Amino acid sequence: MIKFANVSLIYPNSTTTVLENLNLEISEGEMVLVIGSTGSGKSSLLRLINGLVPHHTGGILAGDVSIDGISTQLVKPGELAHLIGIVGQNPVNGFVADTVEEELAFGMEALNLPSDVMRKRVEEVLDLLSLAALRSRSIATLSGGEQQRVAIAAALVTHPKVLVLDEPTSALDPIAAEEVLSILHRLVHDLGLTVVIAEHKLERVIQFADRILYINGVGVTKVGTPEEILMDSPIAPPIVHLARALGLKEIGVSVREMRRMTQAFRTKDFLRATHSPVSGDTKIISVESLGITYAGYRALKSISATIYNQEIVAVMGRNGAGKTSFLKAIAGINQPDSGKVRVLDLNPQNLKGKDRRSAIGFIPQEPSDLLYGQTVLIECTQADADNDVAVGTTATLLDQLVPGVSLQMHPRDLSEGQRLGLALSVVLSANPEILILDEPTRGLDYQAKRELVSILIAFAKNFSKCVLLATHDVELVAELATRVIFFADGEIVADGSAIDVLLSSPAFAPQVAKVMAPHPWLRVADVIAAVENS
Amino acid sequence: MKNLTSDIVRFSYKNASVLALASVLSAAGFLWPFFYVGTDLPQTQLFFWGAVGLAFLLVVLEISSARLDAKSVALLGILSAVIAALRPLGAGAVGIEPMWFLLILSARVFGASFGFLLGVVSMFASAMITGGLGPWLGYQVFAAGWIGLLAGSLPKNVRGRLEILMLTVFGVMAAALFGLLMDLQFWPWALASGTQLSFIPGGALTENLYRFLTFHLATAMAWDVPRAVFTAGLIAVTGSSVLSALRRTHTRAAFLTPVVFNERVRQQKEV
């Protein structure tokens, strides 16, 4: 269906090859996963499939990419629209119409299909993706998972033979991600759809993939079954790290396989590690019966919580459960309708300017919302000046967080990880008492996530401050958090040490915990520690 | 096989000549009072409304049949929507229409042809939004198109503060020009005949010109001066950041970037 023959690619004004001599044939009904660190060329590869690269971006393409026998050299991307459905990284950016039904019809309008066909196909795809209940809803009011399903439906409605998805689950909570992936899995099996998918969160997709294409960042690619590729790939989900740590000869890509492989191991006796909850004794944040209502919708219903220094608190829960509202109320952005919020015994809403920056560092879901400068350098010098620190402090901080960011780049041209690093160093240059992050790992690769984890732990432990983060990423929470507050429908349903909360709910348990249940281990490091202690 | 990614919309000679023809027609629609030889107030307005509408239609047809590719359409659509939405923001206030600065800055970055289209489409769209449909629409649409066209034709190599200064001055002129043209299409009908400022059908060119300018200065100050000050002020304040955002868009859209299909990618570099 898709054939790459000796494909190499260079972008104009660039000296590094994005891809070098890629040979790959993807047959009908195959699901191929593209992995690689940020900026390694995953998106370029996906865009090669429908000819957007190089027709819209320019560049030198050697070799040939052909889809269903049509070479992308010979036709413009528009002429492949009926063959290929493409779903971008952020579905909201791709929506054209206001309501679900209209959005679904839009693609077919562009292909000039007769209206009776359009009607039929809209119904069909609404059923296929279980969207019938949402058909007349406004897209803006849908949750992240629902929007992602609408985007997939809009791509499928033209009956493409190939579906290309760029990080379809990065913004979703584990359950919504599962839902989207199982629908894709079903489409591959029921309709023989060919799916090419790029994703950072391997733990979510790996079990669905037939083959993996690994791009190492300097153009070299490797193709193989998940087991072959993950055996020695530096990019691997926790489950594979676990297999390596235990010295298994084979690796399993699903929890089921790994449980079978570790049966003997799990039956051994281990000393129960004692967990001493980490927290300081200074009360930093106190929230008392906080309630927030948006246009009649009660986002938060009487929330109370106290957070101490040295704590790293993960705020979890479904999309729309009230996580962001909670963080914004603590940051003083949202006006509480009832109850009160105190940060260091001050009302965060009254903090202004420098006092505010030195008390609360807030990084919103989209870190570029904080970045206004034309270049990274302007951003850094501005932060130095704002916070009365020595010239170059922010730039040095940035270099520690994410080395090798060019100071002349425009902040919006940076990769997700670099942008987060920049926003983080701008915020940290004010040396705030608390750091609040909303969904920091969206679009981050494993390497960047490891960096983030070590920065945040150092911030909380070494400087005795506290960190609050909202996230869907259970693996990150397992690595990082000392405490988890779990939200559902505007209420706190669980609040306790990370290990207690994560182990109590199977959907939100990290992979290692699922494999090793009933042993209370969250991370590969916990397993290794347990082995060493016994 | 070597070629380029598609360019931002640029008029071909054929397009440009259609545009010139349409411009002459609509210019006649504006300027007829000075050259009219009859003595009664004519019904020519109908003819000229038609002419302006036709010219507008002609240009749109000509261009849409030609080479508007996806990237140009996307840019045109988004910028038009923003401009059209900005226009009614100052509704009611005297001449304060926060659309002109963006039209001028966009035309500056994306060129004269794009500027013309942007002016035409955004003015039309904003009329649709505000319900401001009427005989004056054709004139407004063309005037906005010309302002875009002129802004896109300013000298290219001026950069930095000088560029902002140039655009600010242009903003004042454009605002004044728009006011002048709107008054011109309206003047013959605005006043009952016989006043000192009224149009004299078939009168001497100098006499009518004098009367018109007096009329314009007497009536338009309340609209044109705030519009000019507001537009120029917005350009002066936001100019450099808006320009750099638009220029970045221009770079990212990779217009006219070489697309090469080769045997090997390195071939070119070794030469």
Among candidates A17, A60, A410 on the partner chain, residue whose Cβ is nearest the Cβ of B260: A60
Query: Given the DSSP bridges, would you call strands A283-294 and A297-308 parallel, antiparallel or unpaired?
Result: antiparallel
Q: Which of A445, A369, A449, A377 is CA-nearest to residue A410?
A: A377
Which tokens go with A250?
């084979």
Cα–chain center distance at A257: 25
Q: Which of A222, A213, A211 is CA-nearest to residue A253?
A: A211
Query: Residue B240: closest CA among chain A residues belongs to which residue?
Result: A374
Q: What share of chain B is helix, strand, coil (3-state, %, to 5)?
A: 70, 5, 25
The DSSP secondary structure of B116-139, one letter per residue, reads: HHHHHHHHHHHHHHHT--STTHHH
Shortest distance between the Cα of B119 and any Cα of chain A, in A, equals: 23
Shortest distance between the Cα of B241 and any Cα of chain A, in A, equals: 8
Is B265 within 8 Å of A60 when comparing Cβ atoms? yes
Q: Answer with the residue of higher pLDDT: A471 or B16.
A: A471
Beta carbons of A34 and A445 less than 8 angstroms apart: no
DSSP state of A83: T
CATH no., domain A283-517: 3.40.50.300
- Mean pLDDT across the stretch B109-136? 84
Q: Is the peptide bond before A54 cis (omega within 30 degrees of 0)?
A: yes
Shortest distance between the Cα of B252 and any Cα of chain A, in A, equals: 8
pLDDT above 70 covers what percent of chain A?
99
Q: Which of B135, B140, B129 is CA-nearest to residue B88?
A: B129
Is A412 within 8 Å of B248 when comparing Cβ atoms? yes
Q: Please tell me the least confidently modeled range out of A352-356, A489-493, B188-192.
A: B188-192
Beta carbons of A193 and A187 less than 8 angstroms apart: yes
**Burial A17-34, CB ≥16 within 10 A → b, else e:** bbbbbbebebeebbbbbb
- pLDDT above 60: residue A326: yes
- Mean pLDDT across the stretch A321-346? 89
Q: Which of A50, A524, A478, A504 is CA-nearest to residue A245?
A: A524
Q: Is the peptide bond before A238 cis (omega within 30 degrees of 0)?
A: no
**Residues near A309 by beta carbon (within 8 Å), at least 6 away in sequence:** A279, A280, A281, A282, A284, A464, A465, A466
Query: Residue B71: closest CA among chain A residues belongs to which residue?
Result: A56
Which tokens go with B90?
């100052």
Is B265 within 8 Å of A57 when comparing Cβ atoms? no
- pLDDT above 70: residue B170: yes
Residue B260 at interface with chain A, using a CB cutoff of 8 Å: yes
Is B260 within 8 Å of A54 when comparing Cβ atoms? yes
Is A62 within 8 Å of B257 when comparing Cβ atoms? no
Handedness of CA B252, B258, B263, B268 (dihedral sign): negative
Residue at token pair 């005949």: B193
CA distance B157 to B153: 11
**pLDDT tens digits, residue range A194-229?**
999 999 888 889 989 999 999 887 778 899 999 889
Q: Answer with the residue of higher pLDDT: A347 or A319.
A: A347
Is B259 within 8 Å of A62 when comparing Cβ atoms? no
Residue B4 at interface with chain A, using a CB cutoff of 8 Å: yes
Handedness of CA A27, A31, A36, A39 (dihedral sign): positive
A308 has which bridge partners? A283
Residue at token pair 């008029």: B11
Helices in A343-485 by DSSP H: which ranges?
Answer: 353-359, 376-386, 393-401, 416-428, 446-462, 474-480
Q: Which of A42, A56, A50 is CA-nearest to residue A12?
A: A56
Q: Which amino acid is at B184?
A: L
| Residue-range domain boundaries for chain A | 27-41+76-256, 283-517
Residue B265 at interface with chain A, using a CB cutoff of 8 Å: yes
Give φ, ψ of A496 to 5 degrees: -175, -170
CA distance B268 to B271: 6
- Mean pLDDT across the stretch A323-333? 90
Shortest distance between the Cα of A23 and any Cα of chain B, in A, equals: 14
Residue B264 at interface with chain A, using a CB cutoff of 8 Å: yes
ipTM score: 0.74
Is B262 within 8 Å of A61 when comparing Cβ atoms? yes
> Using CB atoms and an 8 Å cut-off, which of residues 6-35 of chain B contact chain A?
6
Give φ, ψ of A309 to 5 degrees: -70, 160
Q: Which amino acid is at A16?
A: T
Residue B258 at interface with chain A, using a CB cutoff of 8 Å: yes
Q: Which of A17, A20, A11 is CA-nearest to residue A52?
A: A11
**pLDDT tens digits, residue range A415-448?**
777 888 899 999 989 889 999 998 888 778 888 8
Residue B248 at interface with chain A, using a CB cutoff of 8 Å: yes
Helices in A113-262 by DSSP H: which ranges?
Answer: 115-128, 144-156, 174-191, 202-205, 226-232, 238-245, 255-261
Among candidates B254, B260, B268 on the partner chain, residue whose Cβ is nearest the Cβ of A61: B260
**Residues near B129 by beta carbon (within 8 Å), at least 6 away in sequence:** B84, B85, B87, B88
On chain A, the residues whose CB falls within 8 A of the CB of B244 are: 374
Is A55 within 8 Å of B259 when comparing Cβ atoms? yes
CA distance B149 to B136: 20
Identical fold, A27-41+76-256 and A283-517: yes
Q: Mean pLDDT for chain B?
A: 79
Residue at token pair 């760029």: A166
- pLDDT above 90: residue A140: no
A484: alpha, beta or left, given left = phi > 0 and alpha = psi -120 to 50? beta
Predicted confidence at residue B269, as pLDDT, reads 46
CATH 1.10.1760.20 assigned to B2-270? yes
Q: Which of B190, B60, B51 is CA-nearest to residue B121?
A: B60
* Residue A439 parent element (H or E): none
Among candidates A12, A62, A412 on the partner chain, residue whose Cβ is nearest the Cβ of B258: A12
Predicted confidence at residue B271, as pLDDT, reads 38
The DSSP secondary structure of A224-248, one letter per residue, reads: E-HHHHHHH-SS--HHHHHHHHTT-
- Mean pLDDT across the stretch A308-312? 90
| Residue-range domain boundaries for chain B | 2-270
Beta carbons of A527 and A512 less than 8 angstroms apart: yes
CA distances from residue A361 to A246, A327, A333, A344 in whole angstroms, order as listed:
40, 11, 12, 13
Beta carbons of B84 and B102 less than 8 angstroms apart: no
CA distance A21 to A25: 13
**pLDDT tens digits, residue range B237-257?**
999 889 988 998 888 888 877
Predicted confidence at residue A410, as pLDDT, reads 85
Predicted confidence at residue B43, as pLDDT, reads 62
Residue B268 at interface with chain A, using a CB cutoff of 8 Å: yes
Q: Please tell me the least confidently modeled range out of A115-124, A326-335, A405-414.
A: A405-414
Which CATH architecture describes the domain A27-41+76-256? 3-Layer(aba) Sandwich (3.40)
Cα–chain center distance at A4: 28
Is B1 within 8 Å of A73 when comparing Cβ atoms? yes
- pLDDT above 80: residue A186: yes
> Using CB atoms and an 8 Å cut-off, which of residues 156-195 of chain B contact chain A?
none
A296: alpha, beta or left, given left = phi > 0 and alpha = psi -120 to 50? left
Q: How many residues does chain A have?
A: 534
CA distance B213 to A202: 72
Shortest distance between the Cα of B148 and any Cα of chain A, in A, equals: 26
Q: What dihedral angle (degrees, nearest 10) is formed by the CA atoms of B68, B84, B248, B256?
A: 10
Is B259 within 8 Å of A59 when comparing Cβ atoms? yes
Query: Residue A59: closest CA among chain B residues belongs to which residue?
Result: B259
**pLDDT tens digits, residue range A34-58?**
998 877 888 889 999 988 888 888 8
Mutation target vs B (from A13, A55, A56; most B CBs, 10 A cutoff):
A56
The DSSP secondary structure of B223-246, one letter per residue, reads: HHHHHHHHHHHHHHHHHHHHHHHH
Handedness of CA B196, B202, B206, B212 (dihedral sign): positive
Residue B77 at interface with chain A, using a CB cutoff of 8 Å: no
**Residues near A92 by beta carbon (within 8 Å), at least 6 away in sequence:** A147
Shortest distance between the Cα of A74 and any Cα of chain B, in A, equals: 10
Query: Residue A73: closest CA among chain B residues belongs to which residue?
Result: B261
Highest average pLDDT, of A267-276, A400-409, A427-436, comes from A427-436
Radius of gyration from C-alpha coordinates of chain A:
24
Helix B137-152 crosses helix B100-110 at what angle (to 10 degrees)?
40
Residue at token pair 């026998």: A69
Is B258 within 8 Å of A73 when comparing Cβ atoms? no
Shortest distance between the Cα of A371 and any Cα of chain B, in A, equals: 13
Sheet holding A360-363, edge to edge: A360-363, A434-438, A466-470, A312-317, A483-488, A491-497
User: Any idea what the Cα angle at residue A235 is, between residues A417 and A484, rounded to 5°?
Assistant: 65
Among candidates B70, B252, B259 on the partner chain, residue whose Cβ is nearest the Cβ of A54: B259
* Residue B44 parent element (H or E): helix B44-65
Q: What is the largest CA-CA distance in chain B?
A: 81
